[in-house]
Structure 1
């Protein structure tokens, strides 16, 4: 009924013609428009569409400082970060600022604006086995909590989960149930699964 009404409305917009082929072309165009409208109405947006993200957003490699900041927010400290001279220098400077009451926190990872390091310095942080291990251990716990135990999780999978959780944390309007669904969808997504077995 709905389709016939729509078709009648569309047909009313046709220019007058007695040419059979022209009428047939107009009818085919209108049927295509109807199919597109119906498909759009029946489309159920994916978890990525609902979050307004794409796969590429979660396949980006975050900086080591971003990972350290994220882990710090989860209450996880990577002690060996202080072995990287550039980080140590910024860390000590922040503590000095705090001691002289020029900063609201002694923790450089909580400073505003956020800490940024040169690419080479950040790479030294990324190379810390403790950082990689703690990120992966955190991600394994998240996967296990959401019904997808991953004893052999890769670092890429761990960063994907970190980016998904960070995106969900910024989305204050969603319920915990919806966030759990998004994480389960991420864990079963093709791009996450592929990250578990890197292609040669």
Structure 2
């Protein structure tokens, strides 16, 4: 009924013609329009569409400073961060400023706006085995908690999971149930699974 009504409305817009092939072409066009409308009506948006993200957003490698902040917010400490000279220098400066009452907290990872390092310095943080190990351990535990144990978790999978969790936490309109559902969708998604395979 719905399709017939729509088709009648579309046919009413046709220019008058007695040519059979022209009429057939118009009819075919209208049927294609109807199919597109029906497909749009029946489309169930994915968790990515609802969050307004794409797979590419989660495939980007975050800065090591961002990873450190993420872990720190979960009370996961990466002590070796202070072995990176650039980080240590900023941390010591932060503590001195705290002593002078210039800032409200001595911890560099609590600074707002967040502090970032130069690319080469950030790469030194990323190279810390402790940072990689603790991010991966967090990701394994998160995956297992959501019914997708991943014993051989890659660092890429761990960063994908971290970015998905960050995105879900930023959307204050989502319920814990919806967040869990999104995480399960991410864990079973093709791009996450592919991140677990060595690249050719």
Q: TM-score, normalised by structure 1?
A: 0.98
1:84 corresponds to: 84
Which of 190-199 and 28-37 deviates more?
Answer: 190-199
User: SS in structure 2 opposite 1:61?
Assistant: coil
Q: Does 1:149 align with 2:149?
A: yes
1:193 corresponds to: 193
- Give unmatched runs, 5+ long, in structure 2: none
Alignment of 1:1-200 (within 5 A): 1-200=1-200
User: SS in structure 2 opposite 1:151?
Assistant: coil
List per-residue Cα deviations over 1:15-68 (Å, max 9, x = no partner). Answer: 111111111111111000000000000011111111111111111000100100
1:199, distance to aligned residue in structure 2 (A): 2.1
1:97, distance to aligned residue in structure 2 (A): 1.1
1:96, distance to aligned residue in structure 2 (A): 1.1
Residue-pair matches, total:
200
1:116, distance to aligned residue in structure 2 (A): 1.2
Mapped to 2, the partners of 1:141 and 1:61 lie a distance apart of 20
Q: TM-score, normalised by structure 2?
A: 0.98
Q: How well do the aligned residues superpose, as a CA RMSD in angstroms?
A: 0.7
1:198, distance to aligned residue in structure 2 (A): 1.8
User: SS in structure 1 opposite 2:31?
Assistant: helix
Query: Where has structure 1 moved over 6 Å in runs of 4 or more?
Result: none
- Give unmatched runs, 5+ long, in structure 1: none
User: SS in structure 2 opposite 1:113?
Assistant: coil
